[in-house]
Structure 1
Amino acid sequence: GTVGGNIANGSPIGDMPPMLIALGAEIELQSNRGRRTLPLESFFIDYGKQDIAENEVLTSISVPRLSANEQFRAYKITKRFDQDISAVMAAFCLKVKDGVVERACMAFGGVAGIPKRASGAEDALVGASLEDPGSWQDALNAIESEFVPLTDMRASSTYRRDIVRGLLEKALLEISASSSQKTRVHGQRELVEGGAHVS
């Protein structure tokens, strides 16, 4: 029920870790031996294994502010509209200059034993033009082979791989258009009086 708890329990399907990893967050751990900081992505080692000693506690989370030329998007795919565990959680942070991607950080939950970055797709996206969807293809192709998700009652492995690619494309479409209006699904509770959408 807390941000710290969402991290410390080490779940591969927690909602917060992919977003915080994409944003470059660091955490602080404290024990009677002192304090240490580490990048959040380094905290997750393997399924059920985190970089935390038995007597350490998570004491703080530091998240850098987005700069003027950074864009962030996050998406949660679930079966139910409310209060559901993620089948896939995805977060994207792109540094863009003159319409060209200079740096990309993408993190996912639900597609591996830990929250994990798509480093191959990140590298492939650097140099891509947001105005040229053809230049995205290397990254879209690369991301399909980044993960080998499991099949469970929430989603199949194939579905998860397809969703990962689709969410990367969705993020690029939104960032290139500077609007999410055309790619967002609006529910009844997101409508205001008069039928106008809340953006």
Structure 2
Amino acid sequence: MTTLNTLWPLFDLRLATPRLELRPITDQDIPAAVAAARSGIHEAARNPFSTPWTELPDDELGPNMARWYWRCRGGFTPEDWTLLLGIWHEGQFIGCQDVGAKEFAVRKTVTTGSWLKQSVQGRGLGREMRAAVVLWAFDRLGAEVAESEAAAWNSASLGVSRSLGYELNGTTRRAWGTKVETLQHVRLTPETFNRPDWELQVEGHEAVARFLKVT
């Protein structure tokens, strides 16, 4: 019998760490994602996102987030993809971890980005969810490099990167809303990765690997 999950096998992917479950965001999850974002992600004076989506009014935030989730899903191909994983902690949606790639078959490189609602920040959950997608990328997809970036002032994000073994990889200047910020790039390889002392639990990977043509 053909089901939505057989047509779109990404929905069956599950990554589990000691405290978190990471799985693709479905349409049914969007209200919880919007509620988590509305609860607050960062201080008003410092927006960590180059596109200030968190500053939208409540009546615009939900549609904007939904469009982004649909756009990433609709544009998903083996040659150019962004996988948006919701983060669940103690049964509650608390944030999003994305992992993506362009020309992965040749470049073997993934990029990551994430957000967590403020009420759960400072507990090491950001490090745990980033470690989860890096473990999946290196050990299951065969990635050779993981890249990330953050505004140079974003010590929290760069601290997570540093703790996992990322190395500095140059800076650029980027439009940041109506301002300009210096962006710090970081780079991780399997050799420099500070692996966690726990094992990642993975479900549904084989179908995703076939979908991405990396088997």
TM value normalised by structure 1? 0.36
Task: Return the structure number with greater helix share.
Answer: 2
Work out which of the two has the higher radius of gyration on C-alpha atoms and give 1 or 2: 1
TM value normalised by structure 2? 0.34
Task: Return the structure number with greater strand share.
Answer: 2
Bigger relative contact order, structure 1 or 2 (CA pairs below 8 A, ≥6 apart)? 2
